[in-house]
Structure formats: structure tokens, C-alpha cells
Amino acid sequence: MVDGAHIADVADVPEGGSYLFTAEDAFTNEQEVILVHCDEEPGIEAWVNTCTHETQRFDRGSGAPIRDGQIICPKHGSLFDTCSGECDNGEAAGTTLPGVEVAVTDGEVVLTDDNYDYLRDGGTGDDGPSSSSHLSF
């Protein structure tokens, strides 16, 4: 048994999409986090729900766009590896998404990062920055 807050069941994380939840950091700031499938152990990774190039949310309530194991920034199209968080193209090239530590045990995803406390499923409730992109996936 892993110590930490239950976030979701692995089955709740959509293939080709993301599961959005809100956590609180050590400074009591609410932070959106996404869970995504990864081909490497533990099979699920958690990333802060913001592109490193601009304050652009990946998942705005309907799942982050993901293709071929990469999270797609809806504004400029930068691609982030779902397993490592690294980006090697576009405006965000050379950056890595901030990760949030999770564990997978008995089909459950558990928040194990000491820097965050689980608050709730879904986003922060604000609209955040909007995308000016015309990219389609």
C-alpha cells in the first residue's frame, strides 16, 4: 500500500487524453495537474497543466490533445513527451514540464508528491488564458 491521496483509478485516465485534477502547492496556490498514460512504468505520469512556453493550459476541461505519446500545446503545437515531459520542437523546445509525483498501485493513481495536496477532480474553476491557435487535431 502506498501512502498518499487517491486521485483516480487508472481506468479513469483516457487513452489519448488526460485526467484533470487540482492540487494545492506548499504556498496554498491551487495548481491544475493532468494525468496521462505513459508506456514506461508506472504507466501513468502527472504534469502541471501548463505549457512551458506560455501560460497555456493543455486540458481546458475536455482532455489534453495527445498524439503518438506526446501532449500537444493547443496554442503553438509544441509536443511534450508523455513519459519524460521533454519538448524538442516549436516554441517550447528545450524545456521540460514540471512533474508531480504519483504512484500506481492496485489500479489506483495516488498522489505521492510531498509538495502537493490533492484538492478535487477537475480544474481550478477559472477560465485561464485562451488559445489563439487555429491548430486542429
What pLDDT was estimated at residue 20?
98
What pLDDT was estimated at residue 126?
55
What stretches of 1-137 adopt beta strand conformation (E)?
5-9, 19-25, 30-37, 44-48, 66-67, 70-72, 79-81, 99-100, 102-105, 108-111, 116-121
Domains, in order of start, for the chain: 5-121 (2.102.10.10)
Confidence of residue 137 (pLDDT cuts 50, 70, 90): very low
Per-residue burial over 85-111, b = 16 or more CB atoms within 10 Å of its CB, e = otherwise: bebeebbbeebebeebebebeeebbbb
Confidence of residue 1 (pLDDT cuts 50, 70, 90): low
Tally Cβ neighbours within 10 Å of residue 67: 10
CA distance 54 to 27: 22
Give strand pairing partners of 23.
31, 118
- Whether 129 shows a pLDDT value over 90: the answer reads no
- Whether 6 shows a pLDDT value over 90: the answer reads yes
CA distance 37 to 24: 23
What pLDDT was estimated at residue 102?
98
Confidence of residue 113 (pLDDT cuts 50, 70, 90): very high
pTM of the model: 0.89
Please provide the average confidence, as pLDDT, over all residues in the chain: 91
What lies within 8 Å, CB to CB, of 22 at 6+ separation is 30, 31, 32, 33, 119, 120, 121, 122, 123, 124
Q: pLDDT tens digits for 34-87?
A: 999 999 999 999 999 999 998 899 999 999 999 999 999 999 899 999 999 999
